């Protein structure tokens, strides 16, 4: 990028995964028009669901399952929050699935289109699920956040959605932001406004069918 080679070259079999990681790096390092938050982002009925979570939390698997069940994909990787409007800008790309999640989503939707598997990367085995055509067509439709949900996969556990304190939700959202500090006070206030208008939850799940049912009934914030 701009004559720089910031990453160690990888094997040809990892090229597509490496391209995605490189694009993420470009956005988080240079696209400071937005406040970027590491999260999956989907939309339903004009309102946005933001799911910040660390690796291994089941974020991408849950994101893929929801977009296969009526949600619009804005991003599998990051929320792009416009601090001036409070809207989230879509950035739909293929959904990055890792390890067991690849077969889980294939079984959930046998007709889904997957790219080749990159084996033994630094994140394990990685494959990419094609972004839905409708999400791509509507990539210019920003929307207002309504829910901030912190997901966590717990094997064989029942689905549990619990209201989360807004103060701790703000702190964790800020910790998941790549560039809030670049925006200074404006960034702080934009994240604070987002949390103020959203319902915030902790969500744990062990089965995707249960998770899909819970998210289909998310109440609209007052």
pLDDT of residue 2: 83
Residue 47 is encoded by which pair of tokens? 């309102």
The pairing of beta strand 35-44 with beta strand 72-75: antiparallel
Window from 26-35, 49-58, 63-72 with minimum mean pLDDT: 49-58
CA torsion 65-69-74-77 (nearest 10°) is: 0
Q: Which residue, 130, 47, 46, is CA-closest to 92? A: 130
pLDDT of residue 55: 76
Q: What is the mean pLDDT of residues 190-200?
A: 97
More confident residue, 123 or 36: 36
Phi and psi (nearest 5°) for 114? -115, 145
DSSP string, 60-129: HHHHHHHHTTTPEEEESSEEEE-TTT-PEEP----EEEETHHHHHHHHH-TT--B-PPEEEETTEEEEEE
pLDDT of residue 56: 76
% of the chain at pLDDT higher than 70:
100
- Residue 3: band (very low, low, confident or very high) from pLDDT cuts 50, 70, 90: confident
* Separation CA 72–CA 131 (nearest Å): 10
pLDDT of residue 136: 97
Question: pLDDT of 144-188, one tens digit each?
Answer: 999 999 999 998 899 999 999 999 999 999 999 999 999 999 999
Does residue 132 surpass a pLDDT of 90? yes
* Separation CA 122–CA 214 (nearest Å): 33
């Amino acid at each position: 990028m701009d004559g720089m080679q910031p990453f160690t070259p990888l094997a040809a079999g990892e090229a597509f995964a490496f391209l995605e990681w490189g694009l993420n790096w470009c956005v988080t390092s240079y696209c400071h028009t937005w406040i970027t938050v590491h999260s999956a982002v989907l939309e339903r009925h004009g309102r946005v669901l933001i799911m910040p979570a660390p690796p291994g939390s089941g974020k991408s698997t849950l994101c893929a399952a929801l977009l296969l069940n009526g949600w619009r994909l804005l991003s599998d990787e990051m929320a792009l929050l416009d601090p001036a409007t409070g809207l989230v800008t879509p950035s739909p790309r293929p959904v990055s699935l890792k390890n067991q999640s690849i077969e889980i989503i294939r079984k959930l939707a046998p007709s889904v289109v997957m790219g080749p598997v990159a084996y033994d990367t630094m994140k394990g085995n990685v494959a990419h699920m094609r972004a839905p055509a409708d999400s791509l067509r509507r990539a210019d439709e920003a929307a207002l956040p309504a829910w901030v949900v912190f997901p966590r996969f717990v094997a064989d556990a029942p689905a549990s959605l619990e209201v989360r304190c807004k103060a701790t939700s703000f702190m964790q959202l800020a910790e998941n932001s790549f560039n809030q500090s670049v925006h200074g006070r404006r960034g702080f206030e934009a994240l604070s406004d987002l949390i103020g208008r959203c319902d915030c939850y902790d969500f744990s799940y062990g089965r995707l069918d249960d998770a899909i049912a819970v998210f289909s009934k998310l109440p609209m914030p007052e």
